[in-house]
Amino acid sequence: MLIDVHQHLWSAAFSDALRRRRTAPFLDGWTLHLDGEPPYAVDPAAHDVQARAAAERSAGVGLALVSLSAPLGIEYLPPDEAVALLDAYHVGALESPDPFGVWAAASVVEPDPVDLGARLDAGCVGLQLPATALLGPEGYQVCGSLLSLLEDRGKPLFLHPGPAGAAAGRPGWWPAVVSYVNEMHAAWFAFRAFGRPAHPRLRVCFAMLAGLGPLHGERARARGGPTGVIDPDVFVETSSYGLRATDAVLRVLGVDAIVLGSDRPYAQPITAELSDFFGPAAAKAFTSENPGRLLGSGHHSTQRATAH
């Protein structure tokens, strides 16, 4: 089964909840307003649930995992503001037709493991958190109850870029090209320094090849950082990058760490090119076998190691 671990799809309920707001994040019609980013014209067709489902099935996708758009900053809102948006997201996403599955979302201001447990019971495959919530030991302390619950349930964590922050005077592409990459790079090393010691059984997937953080392993080791031993429960997905970047990360982490992610509707998957570039066996690993291990639906190694 072809699995895409990273997509976004806004239900009518979630879009309406954003339109009811008057401060960021909010929608004015189909124009999205965020702190730190220029207004963004959302394409309504990109969030046509039935059309998206038909397109995924036509492409042979058996499971496409949708997640809350973490750069919106909903996880950081005061809990009384966040609850309506989080509820609307979960209700709409869980009602989406096949082949869509759902990553849960949670407040990082007042983390609630009981609420997360209910989301997992309702059918969410695991939890997505903004990478900005887990950039140091304090973040792992604040979110520790959520991560411990994932460990206990055998569910994975998906780390996605969070809010970009202020970028006054910078071009519109800056957050995606600079801010998000920096976030994922930092999250990659923070997990090794603080996350893995605290949560030895947690499976985790980093969006966008972890901002190419794995490629800095040589520099990290030269400066006394993590060793080059592979962690079998750490994965990176391919969204926003192409074959060359994927190949570079593959040479560091090995074939078992790469999973397919597209970031649809904001980017397109590299599915069609995988087999020709990497060979059929690697393409199958990226699109089926490795995502299955990430999600716990295949063989899962419990051996612990320190990653790059």
Q: pLDDT of 190-218, one tens digit each?
A: 999 999 999 999 999 999 999 999 999 88
Number of alpha carbons in the 13 Å side-chain half-sphere of residue 264: 25
Residue 303, pLDDT score: 33
Cα gap 127→138, rounded to integer Å: 19
pLDDT of residue 156: 98
Answer whether the bond into residue 99 is a cis peptide, omega within 30°.
yes
Got the DSSP string for 131-184? Answer: GGGSSSHHHHHHTHHHHHHHHHHT--EEEE-------TTS-TTHIIIIIHHHHH
Q: Where are the domains of the chain?
A: 2-295
- 3-state SS assignment for residue 102: strand
In this structure, what token pair is assigned to residue 137?
């030991």
Cβ(158)–Cβ(103) under 8 Å?
yes
Cα–Cα distance between 68 and 89 in angstroms, integer?
A: 7
CA–CA gap between residue 37 and residue 25 (Å, rounded) = 11
> Is residue 239 within 8 Å of residue 267, measured between CB atoms?
yes
Under 8 Å between Cβ of 106 and 68: no
pLDDT at 85: 98
Please return the burial class of 23, using the count of CB atoms within 10 Å of its CB with bins 0-12, 13-18 and 19+: exposed
Task: Using 70 as the pLDDT threshold, list the residues of the chain that sit under it.
Answer: 167, 298-308
- Which of these CATH numbers, 3.40.50.410, 3.40.190.10, 3.20.20.140, 3.30.70.60, describes 2-295? 3.20.20.140
Alpha carbon separation from 277 to 15, 160, 272, 273 (Å, rounded): 39, 26, 10, 6
Look up tokens 């953080």; give the residue.
213
Q: Which of 138, 66, 67 is nearest to 106 (CA)?
A: 67
Tell me the per-residue pLDDT of 266-301, one tens digit each, with 9 for 90 and over. 999 999 999 999 999 999 999 999 999 999 974 333
Q: Does residue 39 sit in helix, strand or coil? A: strand
Report the C-alpha gap between 257 and 242 in whole angstroms: 16
pTM greater than 0.85 (yes/no): yes
